[in-house]
Structure 1
Amino acid sequence: MIELSILLDRMSLNERAVIDETKDYLRISHLAFGAAQQIARVIDVESWQDVRVEDAADSLLRVDALFGADQGALIGPLSVVLQKPQGQENIVALITMAGLRQWLETESDARICRVASLERSFRSWTTNFVPWDAELIPPTDAPFEFCNPRRTVQSFGPSRSITESVGRWLVLSAGPGAEESSAFAEWRSVATAKLLPTLASEVLGTPDQLVFGSSRRVRTTISDTSFSHEHYLGVARLSQWIYEDPRAVDTKHTLASDEIARQLSQGASRDAVLSAVERSMDAAKRAYAFVLQEINRDALAALSDLRALVTEEITRISTLTTQLATAVATALGIGVSLVAARVIFDSSPLLIFALMVVVVAYVTTVAKLGADQIVLSEKARGAWRDHLYKFVATSEYNRLVDEPAEMAAKSFRRMRWLGVGVVLFTFFVVSGFALPDDVVDRVAQLIQVTSIGS
C-alpha cells in the first residue's frame, strides 16, 4: 500500500493523474495507458473490495484488460476505481495526499485517521493520525472542549466557511520527527488556513477574505495557503488562548483581533498578517490582564453592593417579623382586655365581637403584606443573579445571599403561623364570651357534628 501511495502522489504532483479519494473509494482518473498499467502493477487486488478500470466510453473492465490482447480497443483517458473494504465507523484510511487534503476539508467525526504517507504518529485534540501499519490505539477524550468560533466570528458567507472545532486543528502531541513528514505538512497547511479565520472579527464570503479589528477595521485576503511550521505555531497558540475559556472568549477574541488590526495596513499581505498574529500574542495577554484588573475592581464594588443589599434585606425581613410579633402581642392584649370588659362591665357583645374582627383583620393584613414583600425580594434576587452577579459562582452566591435571606424568611414564616394561630385562638375565646349562650351552643353542636362526621 505504501508503494501505491508513493506512486499516486508522484503522479498527482506531476499532473499525470487526478485523484478523488473518500472513506469508501479511491478514483484515479485522466490516466494515460502507460500510467494505468503502472498503477495496475502495484495494486494488490486482494486488499480491495472491488477494482475496475473505466475508459472514455464508460466501459467497465477488469484490471487484467490492461495487459490483455484487446488492450488496443481501450479509449483513453482511463480511470482506475478502487473500492475500499468496509472499515469501522470512527476510522478512516487514506492512501494519497490528495485524499488527506479532501478529507480535512470535510467535517468528519472520525477519531482515527490512517495515512499511508505518514511516518510518525501525531494527535490533535479530536483525532489520532497514525501511519498505515501502526497499531490503532483508541484516542482518549480531551479534558475540555474548545468554544465554537462560529458563535464569535461574524460570517457574511456560508457559516461552514468557519471551522466548528478549533481542537481539530491543534496538535496535542506528536512523535519525534512527525513534523518532517509530508502528510503532517499537508495537515499543518490546512490547519493554519482553518485557524486564521477564527482570529478575524469578520469573514467576508470566503475564508480567505478576512477583516480584523472592531473600531479600526482592516481587510486582507489570504490567497497563498502554504504555511511553515512557525506560521502554524503562531496561529495555533493564539487560537488556543482565545477559545479555551468559554467565559472569556469574547473579550480575548476582541483584544487579539484589535491588536492584529493595529499592526496591519489595508490589504496587508499574508506574511504581514502572520507576523502580526505572532507579535499580537503578548500584547493581547497584557491587555487581557488589564481587563481582568478592571473586572476585579468592578467585581469587588459589586460584591460590596451585594453585601449591603443582603444586609438591608435581612434587616427588612427582621423588621417585618418584629412588626408581626408586635401585632400579635397587641391582639392578644386587646383580646384579654375585651374578655375582662365583658365579664366586669357587661359590655355589648356585638361591640366586643366587632373589635375582635378588626384585630384579626389587622394581624392578617400584616402577615400577608410581610409574605408578599418576601416573595418580591426572592424574585429580585433572581434578577440580580442573572444580570448583575453572573461572575459569582452558584455555590458562593447561595452561601452569601440565598441562605442568609432564607433563614430570615423562615423566621418570619414561623412567626406568621404562630401569630395567626394565637390570634385565631384568642378570637374564638373572646367570641365565646361575647356571643349569646344559644349562639355558642349552636356553634359547639356544629363543631361536634362536624367532628363525628369526619
Structure 2
Amino acid sequence: MTTIPNLVREYVGRLQGNCNETLNTLDANGIIPKSDVSLWQKLERDIQFDDELSLSILDDFGDVVNLNTCSDDIFSSRLRFTFKKDITDNCVRFFFSKSLSILFSDDRLLQNTRRVLVAESKCSFRTETCIFAPWNNFDEILPNLLLDENEFNVAPRRYVRDLSGGKVPLTIGESLLIGNADETCPTFLAWRKEATSRLLLTLVNEVWLENGEIKVLISGPRKVTAVYSLKNDVSFSVATEVARWVYASGRDIDVRYTLFTYELAREFPEDSNFSDNFYKYGPKALDIAKTSFSTYVKETSKDTLKSLGDLRKTLNEDVAKITSQAKDFLTSMWRDFAFAVTVIIGRISLSILKPDLAGNIYIFYLMIFTAIFLFISCISNLFINNRFMCITKENRKIWKNKLYGFLSDAELKSLADEPINQAESIYNKIAIFGFISYLLVSVVIIFLAFTSVENKNIISINGVPIMNISLDSFKY
C-alpha cells in the first residue's frame, strides 16, 4: 500500500520544477504533467482527511487553486504547492532522506526528538535516543524511549573545546546506533553520514574555524592539527565504537576521553584530513587507551578499597562512641537513681521509726537538693552528648565530600548514614526514656519533701514564718 507521504514525494519528484523541504513544510513549484493530473486531483481530495498533512496550491498570481474545480488551462501553468507537516513535541517528519540534515543542524530540537519519520525510508533503525522509521499515514505504534538520564545526558562540549560556534555536538545519543540497519536504505545512509560527522568532532580536543575550514587539535605526546572535511563515512564504525566507549561506558568519562585523545595524537599525521585518517589510527589508539584505563581502574580500585576500609573503621568508631554515650547515660542514670532511692527510703524509714524527725527542715532541704541534683545531672548529660553528636555530624559532612566523593549519594547512605542513623535512633530513645524517668523520680522526691513537713513552719525569719506547708494543701 502506497501511503500519502510517499505519493507526495513521488508526484513532487515528477513536477517540471523544483522543491525545498523545511522542518514544517515542503514547498514545490512546477507544471503538473498531463499524465499526473488525475493523480494530483485524487491526492488533493485525500489530504483533506489526513491529520498529519495539509495542502495549499497557488497560481502565478497568488490565487488559491482547487485542482478538482479549476479549468483545464490551469494545468499548463506553473503552480506553487505547500505541504504543511504536523510537528509534535518529540516527533518530526520528512519526505526526503536528505532533509535529515535540517534536524541534525538544530541541536536543541535533536536533543528532544524521539521519533523521526521519513517517507523515503525503507527500513527502521534505532539509536540510543531516537527511532527512525518510515512515515506512514496510517496509525503505527512506535515504542516510547525511556532514557537513562545519567548515561545519555552527556554533553561532549564539556570535554571538547569548541571555538567554532557550535560545530561540536550538544548530545551524542542520536548518533549511537543500536543493533543493525539496512545499509541500502537511503534514510540510514543519510543518517550515517550525519552521525559520523558528529561523532568524530567529539573525539578531539579542540575545534575552530580558520579561513572557512574546520580545524581540529589533538593533544598528547605531541599536538597535532588536522583539517576536518567529511568526504565519506568510512570512519563510522570506528567512531561509533570509540564514542560509545568514551561517553557511554559509565563514570570517568574525562579519564577515557583524555587517554584516547592522548594515544590518538601519538601517531596521527600532521595537517592531514582528520575524517579520512581516523579509521586508520583510531582502532590502535582505542586498544591502548582501554589497556591504560584498565590499569587506572585497578590502581583506583586499590585506593578505593583502602578508602572504604578507612570509612568502615571510622563509622565503626562513630557507632561505638554513640553506643558508649547511651551506655554512659544509662550508667549515670542508675547511679543517680540509687542515690535518690536511698534518700526516699531514708525518708520513709524516718516516717515509720521516728515520725517526729520526718518533718525536720534538714530532711526537706536534703530531698529538694536531691531533686535539683537529678535534674542538673540529666540536663548536663544530655547537653554534652548532644553537642558531641552535632560536632561529629558536621565533621562527617566534611570528610564525606572530600574523602569519599567517588561514592554516590545512595552508596554513602547505605554505607555511612544508615548505620549511624540507627545508632542515633537507639540513643534518642534511651535519652527520652531517661529524661522521663528523671522527671518522674524528681516529682516524687519533691512531693515527699513537701508532705514531710505537715503542719510545720519550714522557713522563718526572726521567728516569723514565711512558708507553711500542710498536707491539707494537697487535698481537694
User: Which TM-score band (shorter chain)?
Assistant: 0.7 to 0.9
Closer, same or farther in 2 for the Cα pair 1:447/1:302, shift >3 Å?
farther
2:436 is aligned to: 421
Query: Which residue is equivalent to 1:289?
Result: 294
Q: Which moved more, 1:435-444 or 1:107-116?
A: 435-444
Match of 2:375 in 1: 360
1:319 to 315, 320, 324: 324
What is the aligned length? Answer: 426
- Show CA shifts across 1:235-293 (max 9, x none): 11211222224533333223323332333355442223443333322222222222221
Q: 1:421 to 1:136 in 2, by over 3 A?
A: closer
Of the structure 1 ranges 130-139 and 264-273, higher mean CA displacement relative to structure 2 is found in: 130-139
Amino acid in the other structure paired with 1:165: T
State which of 123, 143, 146 in structure 2 corresponds to 1:140.
Answer: 143
Q: Secondary structure at the match of 1:180?
A: coil
Alignment match of 1:298 (pick from 300, 303, 313) = 303
Distance of 1:68 and 1:52 partners within structure 2: 15
Give 2:142's aligned amino acid: P
Aligned to 2:50: none
Matches of 1:313 and 1:203 in 2, distance apart?
Answer: 51
Deviations 1:329-349 (A, max 9, x none): 332233244457774896464
Partner secondary structure for residue 143 of structure 2: coil
Q: Which residue of 2 aligns with 1:123?
A: 126
Percent of residue pairs identical = 18
Among 255, 268, 274, the residue aligned to 1:251: 255
Q: What is the alpha-carbon distance in structure 2 between the residues aligned to residue 350 and residue 70 of structure 1?
A: 119
Unaligned runs of 5+ in 1: 30-35, 450-454
- Look up the match of 2:461: none
Query: Does the Cα contact within 8 Å between 1:149 and 1:162 map onto a contact in 2?
Result: no
**Deviation string, structure 1 residues 404-438 (Cα, Å, up to 9, x no partner):** 33343233223323333333344334434555446
Say whether 1:200 aligns with 2:204. yes
Matches within 5 A, 1:152-231: 152-157=158-163, 160-175=166-181, 178-204=182-208, 208-213=214-219, 217-222=223-228, 224-228=229-233, 230-231=234-235
CA RMSD of aligned residues (A): 4.4
- Change in Cα spacing, 1:274 to 1:430, as seen in structure 2 (3 Å) is same
Cα shift at 1:448 = 7.1
Letter paired with 1:369: I
SS in 2 for 1:227: coil
Structure 2 counterpart of 1:195, which letter?
A: L
Residues 85-107 of structure 1: per-residue CA shift (max 9 Å, x gap): 55473654433454333344233
The offset of 1:301, in angstroms, is 0.7
Secondary structure in structure 1 of the residue aligned to 2:251: coil
- State the match for 1:32 in structure 2: none
Match in the other structure for 2:25: 25
* 8 Å Cα contact 1:19-1:28 kept in structure 2: yes
Inter-CA distance 378–132: structure 2 relative to 1 (3 Å threshold): closer
Q: Residue type of the partner of 1:415?
A: I
Q: Given the alignment of the two structures, is residue 405 of structure 1 paired with residue 420 of structure 2, yes or no?
A: yes
Q: Is the 8 A contact 2:163 2:206 kept in 1?
A: no
Matched, 1:82 2:81: yes
Does structure 2 retain, via aligned residues, the 8 Å contact 1:112–1:139?
A: no
Name the SS of the counterpart of 1:179 in structure 2. coil
Q: SS in structure 2 opposite 1:165?
A: coil
Q: Cα 1:396–1:182, aligned 2, differ >3 Å: closer, same or farther?
A: closer
- Going from structure 1 to structure 2, the CA distance change for 1:413 and 1:91 (only over 3 Å counts) comes to closer
Secondary structure in 2 matching 1:307: helix
> Matches of 1:407 and 1:69 in 2, distance apart?
86
1:21/1:98 contact within 8 Å kept:
no
* 1:111 matched residue in structure 2: 115
The change in CA–CA distance for 1:259 and 1:398 in structure 2 (over 3 A counts) is same
- Give the AA of the match of 1:323: D
Q: Deviations over 1:116-157 (max 9, x none)?
A: 2x4444333344434567987433244644233256334545
Question: Which residue of the partner structure matches residue 265 of structure 2?
Answer: 261
Q: 2:464 matched to which residue of 1?
A: none
Report whether the alignment pairs 1:275 with 2:290.
no
Give secondary structure in 2 for the equivalent of 1:163.
Answer: coil
Whether the 8 Å CA contact 2:119–2:136 is kept in 1: the answer is no
Distance change (3 Å), C-alpha of 1:208 and 1:273: farther
Q: 1:289 is aligned with what amino acid? A: S
> Hey, what's the Cα distance between the residues in 2 that align with 1:188 and 1:9?
24
For 1:443 and 1:299, the matched residues in 2 are separated by: 72
User: What is the match of residue 99 of structure 1?
Assistant: 99
SS at match of 1:84: strand
Give 1:225's aligned amino acid: L
